[in-house]
Amino acid sequence: MAGFTVAAGVARGLLDYAVSRGVDQTELLGRAGLDLDVLDDPDARIGSETYVRLMRAGQALTADPALALHWAEDVNLARMSIVGLLGEASTTLLESFMQVRRYGRLVTDLDEADERFDMVPDPDGCVWSVDRRRDPNAFPELTETTFGFMVCGSRVAAPSTWLKAVHVTHPAPPYAAEYERVFGVPVTFDSHWNALKSDPAFLTTPVNVQPRYVFGVLSKHADALMQGLRSASTLRGRVENLILPILHTGEVGIDAVADGLGLSRQTLYRRLKAEDATFEQVLDALRHRLALDYLLGGRVSVNETAFLVGFSDAAAFSRAFKRWTGQTPREARQTARDA
């Protein structure tokens, strides 16, 4: 399954929903391998493996395999994410959809270059709202929550008759009947796309659940969050940015990096863990990536590369490089030249 990150506020919303269904919070956090304080900042990010464990543990503990669908039905996204608030402050449902398209990464960042959401006209005059994310069947619950929040959230402003059909690429689950109950329209499984078919007239339906003034305020904040997401979409990225200038010194420690981020050592450890990483893994992977860039570029010697990526001697670097690639640095460089 392709990696992604989820806003901590959304993960907290899932946690709270499961707890409201009778789940013990401590047990759920334990099964997910998640610390509660990681969720204090709603704009922080949670790694895909942690989020999937949280969802699957919630399903097991509630004995509800349709938990993702029911969560999206019962809880408005505006309670968990600025994206939901922007939707409620839009003038029309079309504008609301465009906010999802523009800022959707603040909810779930899939690390994909292509635009995730699209609108496609149908020959019968209807419109398809399409989720084009790659590898969707690896985690169908993400399709359930995405479409669930979009459809159920829109009912605040529009009658349910706007929706004409739902298509999903994954096979029908045992709880397939819940799809038609929640969405209120025919659902096609094993489809060629994940898409919602709608009457185009609904796109002009007024929303304005929130005052229009709020829209401008929220947009500015969302733009700032998007900028931060683009520059370092995860804490791991921010850690790498701090390590890069001092990597060559060989004195890269977690305490110094934590200080640079304004975090305690333990908080940094916990937040990296929520992104399915450790400080040592981040440092090792960064050295690996940079070593390949330096060596295969052909302009830096093995000894110079060892220094640049923070090793005190070439022998230690060669051992690490062989662990990373199965080859010595010189063998890797020769392989690249022969290719």
Q: pTM, whole model, 2 decimals? A: 0.71
Arithmetic mean of pLDDT, 194-206? 84
Q: What percent of the chain has pLDDT over 90?
A: 40
Q: Reply yes or no on whether the pLDDT at 68 is more than 80.
A: yes
Using alpha carbons, list the distances in angstroms from residue 314 to 291, 293, 317, 323, 324. 12, 17, 5, 14, 15
**Mean pLDDT for all residues in the chain:** 86
What pLDDT was estimated at residue 169? Answer: 98
111: alpha, beta or left? (left if phi > 0; alpha if psi -120 to 50):
left
Given CA atoms 240, 243, 247, 250 in this order, what sign does their dihedral have? negative
Nearest-angstrom CA–CA distance, 113 and 47: 18
**HSE value, Cβ hemisphere, 13 Å, CA-based, for 60:** 11
Lowest mean pLDDT among 129-133, 150-154, 218-222: 218-222
- Residue written as tokens 């690390």? 111
In this structure, what token pair is assigned to residue 95?
């504008």
Contact 87, 106 (CB under 8 A): no
Predicted confidence (pLDDT) per residue in 269-326, tens digit: 988 888 888 999 999 988 888 888 778 776 678 888 888 888 988 899 999 999 998 8
With CA atoms as reference, report the closest residue to 166 among 141, 184, 154: 184
pLDDT band (50, 70, 90) for residue 103: confident
What pLDDT was estimated at residue 218? Answer: 72
Pairing of strands 194-198, 163-167: antiparallel
**HSE value, Cβ hemisphere, 13 Å, CA-based, for 23:** 28
What pLDDT was estimated at residue 246? Answer: 81
With CA atoms as reference, report the closest residue to 240 among 287, 292, 291: 287
